[in-house]
Structures are given as C-alpha cells and as structure tokens.
Amino acid sequence: MSAVTQLWKEVATDKRGLRFAALIGGFATFSAVALLGVSAWLISSAAEMPPVLTLTVAAVSVRFFALSRAIFRYVERLLGHNAALKGLTNLRVTVYESLEKITPIGLRRFGRGDFFARIGADVDSALDLPLRIVLPWAQAALVTVATVAFTVWLIPSIGLVMATTGVVALFIVPVLVRFIASRSDRALAEVRSDVTQGVVAITDNSSEILMSGTGTSALNSLNQRDQAVNSELRKQAWNMGLGNGMGVVLQGVAVVGALILGIPAVTSGRMTPVMLAVVAFLPLALFEILAQLPSTAIAWKNIQGVADRISDLQNDSEDSDSYYPSVPEAAGVQAQRVSSRWPGSDSDTLHDLSFSVLPGDHIAIVGPSGSGKSTLAYTLMGYLPFTGSLSVNPSRVMLSQQSHIFDTTIRNNIQIGGGEMSTPAIEAVINRASLTQWLQQQPEGLDTELGSFGARMSGGEKQRLAFARLLAAHKELLILDEPTEHLDFETAEALEREIWNSTTGNTTIMVTHRLTAAARCTRIFEIVNGHITAIGTHEELMHIGGWYAATWQAQESQLHMLATINRLPVGVAVRQ
C-alpha cells in the first residue's frame, strides 16, 4: 500500500460526507457552466427580438443557476470541510499513537525542527488531499463528462474537440506541471525544514544569544533561510503560472475549434445560430473549472512528501509492535534470561539477566559507566527489544536523568503526570518532593510560568518538580534513571533522601552511580559488562567484595576529603 493510499484511509473516515460533498460540488460546478451556457442562449435569442414570454424560462434559469451555484458551493464547502476535519482528527490520533509507541528511542533520529514539522505542518497539510485534490478533480471530471455529452448530442465533431481538450486539461497538463514542479517541491520541503530548525534553535537558546550579543547574526542567518523559502515559492508560482497558461491555450483551442466546426453546421442548417453562441461559451465556463487542476497537481506532489513523512512514523510504530516482545503483567518484576540491545546495534548490551523484584522493594542498579544500567531501565519500561521472559507491573513510570520541564505553569507541569488535579492534591505532591518552600517564593503560586525548559529553575528544582510530576501519576512501579545526575553533592544527597522518604510503599528501581543512595535500598543489583555480577544488601556486597566494595571505598575517601576541605577556614590554602 502506497503512503498516499494509507494517508487517504486515515483522512477519509467520513466517506459518506466526502461523497455528498463531491456530488454537491458537482452540482455547483455544473451550475457555473450551465449559467454561462443559458446566458449565451438568452442573449443570442433576445437579439432576434422574439416574444418576451419565450425568454421567460431562460431568464428564470439564469437566476436559478446563479443562486444554485453559490448555494451548492457553500453546502459543498460545509460538507467537505466537516468530513475532512473528522479525518484530520483521526489522523492526529493515529500520529500521536505512533509517537507514543516509538518514544523515546525512536524519536532520536528526528531533529526538533523536523519533528515539529511532521506532527504540525505535515498533519495539517493532509487536509489538502480531500479538499484540494480529490474533490476538485472529481468535480472537474464529472462536469467535463456532462459538457462533452451535451456537445456530442448537439454536434459530434464539436463534442470530439471538447473531449480532446478536456482530457488534455484533466490528465496531461496536471502531469506536466507535477513533473516540472517535482524538483522545486523537494527543495521547498528542505528549506522549510531549515527555517523551522532555525526558529527552534533561536527559541531554545534565546538567553545565550542575548548574553553573547549574537542576536543580529542569528536573525541574519534565519533571514537567509527564509529568503531561500521565498525563492522556491517563486519557482512554484512560476510552475503554477505555466499550468494556468496551458489552460488558457486549451481554452482558446476549444473555443476556436467549436467556432470552426459550428459555423458550417449553422450554414448547413444542422445547428441554429443561437446554439453556436452556446457552444462557443461553454468552453469558457468549462476551462475556468479545469484551470484549478494545475494547483491540484502541485498539491498532489506536496501531499506525496507529506504522506511519506507521516508513513515513516507509522512504519516505525508498526516495526516496534513486531520488534518488541509483549511484556506480561506482574505485581513486581520477574526476569528470566533477559537479553537486550539498542536498535541498530549488532550485539546485546544486557546478557541473560535473571532476577525478581517484589512489590514494595527498593532496588538500586549500580555498576561502571557503560555497563548497561540505563539499558535495563529502558527495557523494563518497554522501550527496547529483548529476548527471554520478562513480566513487569503495567502501572509503571520513569524519571530520566534530565526530565523535560514544559514552558507553562507549575500547575500544568504537575497535571501532565496526574491529569486534572485539585489544588490541594497538587500541593500535596509538591510537599512530598520538598518543594513547598520554593512554591511559596513564586510570585503567582501554582500559576507561575516556568519559562522554556524551566529557565527560571535550578537543576535541583527541575528534578524535584519532575519527581513531583512522577508522584502525581500514582503508579505502583517507579523507575528512576540517574535522577541526581549533574547535581552537586549536597543537592543530590537531599534529593535522594526525599525520593526514598516519598516512595515508601512503592516498588522503586533506581539506576545510580552514587553508592550512598544504593546503601539505603532493600537490595542492590551490581551490573558489569551487561551481566549481573552480584545481588544483595549493602553489607552482603561489601562482604563479597568486587566492584561495589571497591567503588564504595573510593567514594568514601572522596567524601571524607570533601568534608575535610569544607571544614577548613576560609582563606586557608591547601598545599598539594
């Protein structure tokens, strides 16, 4: 199935509405053609000065077609947009479900600008498929058939001219315009993505840009990208003009052909002079409708790129469904000979891990850098493929090393985890995360805006707020991946203490390189080179020896030295 066909299935959920819109739109288009044809007949007949009553039907028909054209067009737009917007809603849901399945691993291959373009502009552009491509083309084809049928009934040779020029306008001109515009469309998509990425980069780094005084150069760079977009748009406009020019030429050919073939028919008596005016005016009305098709061809080319990019997300999602084995439900965690690797890797990161985590356990996962600690956390969350047998509590949530703080209020950041929450409930989870004093210092309380990526917060405050959001989710299994990474010793120590105090009753698994945190846990899993080399309490691992015992002694020495330095009077130099 092609990407465009798949996109059509997503946006054409209300097929009945689209069919009615096409039919009503066909009536509107037919009314526009009939209006000009009847007007030509009325004017030509009136020139012969017949009795007024003979013109009454034509005069009423002119009024009818003039009004019906506007009314039918309004109803067509109403039905068409209603059906298309229903399809757009369905497409948005599908895209976000696909994103959910590949988050967070699958998103790493997308730049932020490209990602925003896919879920924003691309999804919105999908409306063009029913509204700017399918409906206009279907209506044009329907009216062309009706017009050709009428002229064939009148004079077959004129009908042949109308059929030939109509087929060229319906099929050949759009294909030519699409072919000419293909290179421009690819370039336009690339430069638009560059502009999006440039805007995102400036927005994300606005503080640094202002401090360094490089705002002018950043804006100049963005302006150059915008000029590239304008250049490609001018090329696209030229392509559109070329298509319209071809339509005008075909219109002239149809009118001249109708006159050349119609005049002998009049002189021979096969057609009245009044009908000659009608067949001369019909191509003018018909090709006014067909003139829309070059823009339809360009929209078709654009929609192919949109469909391909949306299809990439959906294909990644389908791959993840088949690539990641299902994780049966369990009260805690049960793993038997579990091996796991990162997508694209040729070898496993974790090898034959077997362990169990009971409900209410506090587990620390420790080991040297690169040993597979975070890989295990991501595997337990279902983000990575694995082999073996793995059962995990489905009520689980994860706190990563650098959790995202959204550019909105404190209240909204908490509700992202817990949904609609009352003010006392939000304040309760903030208190559990030891942020009550910080909240009291905020000018607007829970409605204080935090800025882009929490620009108005320190590192420790960001992690505490993310931890409060995790608590608001009310999950039974909490997986914490280096939650105190990049924090100073005092802040990390305080946050770890708050985490353990706040997670009593929860099953908690913490990946950490700080063994002072691990010592508080029910059990400690020591992972070295992707293998579990020891499981036990702090005392048991110290007795066994190995990596944990050696690292504990090294960290204790560092902490002792730090405590000694902190006790020195200010101004005393430490000689090396």
Q: 112 or 179: which carries more pLDDT confidence? A: 179
pLDDT tens string 559-576: 667 667 666 665 554 444
Taking alpha carbons only, the member of 496, 472, 498 closest to residue 485 is 496
pLDDT in the model for residue 533: 92
| Confidence tier at 236 by pLDDT (50, 70, 90) | confident
pLDDT at residue 203 greater than cutoff 80? no
Query: How far is it, in rounded angstroms, from Cα 532 to Cα 338?
Result: 11
pLDDT in the model for residue 562: 64
pLDDT tens string 428-477: 988 888 888 888 888 888 989 888 778 778 878 888 888 889 888 888 89
Question: Hey, where are the domains in the chain?
Answer: 3-312, 333-567
Taking alpha carbons only, the member of 126, 134, 128 closest to residue 25 is 134
pLDDT at residue 340 greater than cutoff 60? yes
pLDDT tens string 244-281: 888 888 888 988 998 899 899 888 888 888 888 888 88
pLDDT at residue 501 greater than cutoff 90? no
Q: What angle do CA 409, 410, 414 make, to 5 degrees?
A: 115
Neighbours of 302 (CB within 10 A): 21
Identity of the residue numbered 555: Q
Which range, of 21-25, 187-191, 323-327, 434-438, averages the lowest pLDDT? 323-327
pLDDT in the model for residue 322: 47
Q: What angle do CA 510, 515, 520 make, to 5 degrees?
A: 65
Which range, of 142-146, 340-344, 427-431, averages the lowest pLDDT? 340-344
Among 107-116, 180-189, 215-224, the range of highest mean pLDDT: 215-224
Query: How far is it, in rounded angstroms, from Cα 307 to Cα 5?
Result: 9
Identity of the residue numbered 431: N
Please, which contacts does 360-363 make with residues 24 or more away whose CB atoms are closer than 8 Å?
360/505, 360/506, 360/507, 361/332, 361/507, 361/508, 361/522, 361/523, 362/500, 362/503, 362/508, 362/510, 362/520, 362/521, 362/522, 363/508, 363/509, 363/510, 363/521, 363/522, 363/523, 363/524, 363/525
| Confidence tier at 529 by pLDDT (50, 70, 90) | very high
Whole-model pTM over 0.75 = no
- Stretch 404-415: mean pLDDT, rounded? 88
Q: What percent of the chain has pLDDT over 90?
A: 15
Taking alpha carbons only, the member of 135, 177, 176, 190 closest to residue 305 is 190
pLDDT tens string 78-130: 999 999 999 888 888 888 777 766 666 666 556 555 566 666 677 888 888 88
Q: 285 or 72: which carries more pLDDT confidence? A: 72
- Stretch 165-170: mean pLDDT, rounded? 89
What fold is seen in the domain 3-312? ABC transporter transmembrane region fold (1.20.1560)
pLDDT at residue 207 greater than cutoff 90? no
| Confidence tier at 339 by pLDDT (50, 70, 90) | very high
Give CA 439 to chain center in angstroms: 34
Taking alpha carbons only, the member of 467, 493, 497, 447 closest to residue 405 is 467
| Confidence tier at 298 by pLDDT (50, 70, 90) | confident
pLDDT in the model for residue 355: 93
| Confidence tier at 77 by pLDDT (50, 70, 90) | very high
Q: What percent of the chain has pLDDT over 70?
A: 88
- Stretch 378-389: mean pLDDT, rounded? 86
Query: How far is it, in rounded angstroms, from Cα 33 to Cα 144?
Result: 10
pLDDT at residue 72 greater than cutoff 90? yes
Which contiguous run of DSSP H or E holds residue 279?
A: helix 273-290
Neighbours of 148 (CB within 10 A): 22
CA distances from 564 to 332, 491, 499, 570 (A): 42, 19, 27, 13
Domain spanning 333-567, CATH architecture: 3-Layer(aba) Sandwich (3.40)
Where does 457-546 have alpha helices with state H? Answer: 459-472, 489-502, 515-518, 538-544
Question: Residue 438 is encoded by which pair of tokens?
Answer: 């910080």
Query: How far is it, in rounded angstroms, from Cα 81 to Cα 77?
Result: 6
pLDDT tens string 364-374: 999 998 889 98
Q: What angle do CA 238, 242, 243 make, to 5 degrees?
A: 120
What is the pLDDT of the chain when averaged over all its residues?
Answer: 83
Q: 124 or 158: which carries more pLDDT confidence? A: 158
φ and ψ of 526, to 5 deg: -95, 120
